[in-house]
Amino acid sequence: MIHDKKVNVLFVCMGNICRSPTADAVFKQYIQTAGLANHVYVDSAGTHAYHTDEPPDKRAQNAARKRGYSMHELRARLVESQDFIKFHYILAMDKNNLEILKERCPPTHHHKLDLLMKYSTQWNTLQEIDDPYYGGSYGFERVLDLVEESSQGLLTHLLNHDLKN
């Protein structure tokens, strides 16, 4: 049985137009499919304000759409100080953005910060989701592969820890 407790998950990359909105869209669909939409809140943000209020990169949207994910309603935003309070999980796509989060985050909330790939079965060999922005379409497909796999691990973790009866 699922408790009425809300778990808030924030995905973070640099500009919030490629990797973190991809994770946002994928995980929202996983949560919806699992019947947990009333129990888990999902959002994404960036550590830099390069693209504030812009939609995700068209290449990310196209790759996501091919796999049945919708990103059209998402808009880039910057990580805000209240995010460190509001969210239970703040998951960076790479170590650089994780370090930026650690610098901005009050020490009492550091336990919320981690890498999304921690929840992947590939964790021992791969800990980061590389930024596809300056590459070709293959990079966006690779991001989706890694996000899908690690999101399944995150969902399992939430069910076994935060949402178990």
Phi first, then psi, for residue 161 (nearest 5°) are: -120, -60
- Catalytic-labelled residue, pool 94, 130, 131, 145: 131
Note if 75 is an active site residue.
no
Phi first, then psi, for residue 68 (nearest 5°) are: 90, 15
- Catalytic-labelled residue, pool 13, 18, 57, 83: 13
The Cα 41–Cα 64 span in angstroms is 20
List, in sequence order, every residue forming a beta bridge with 92; answer none if it has no partner: 12, 115
Note if 18 is an active site residue.
no
Q: Is residue 19 within 8 Å of 13, Cβ to Cβ? A: yes
Please name the amino acid found at residue 132.
P
- Catalytic-labelled residue, pool 4, 18, 19, 94: 19
Please name the amino acid found at residue 2.
I
For the chain, the 3-state helix, strand and coil shares in percent, each to the nearest 5, are 45, 15, 40
Note if 104 is an active site residue.
no
What three-state secondary structure class fits 49? coil
By annotation, the residues acting in catalysis are 13, 19, 131
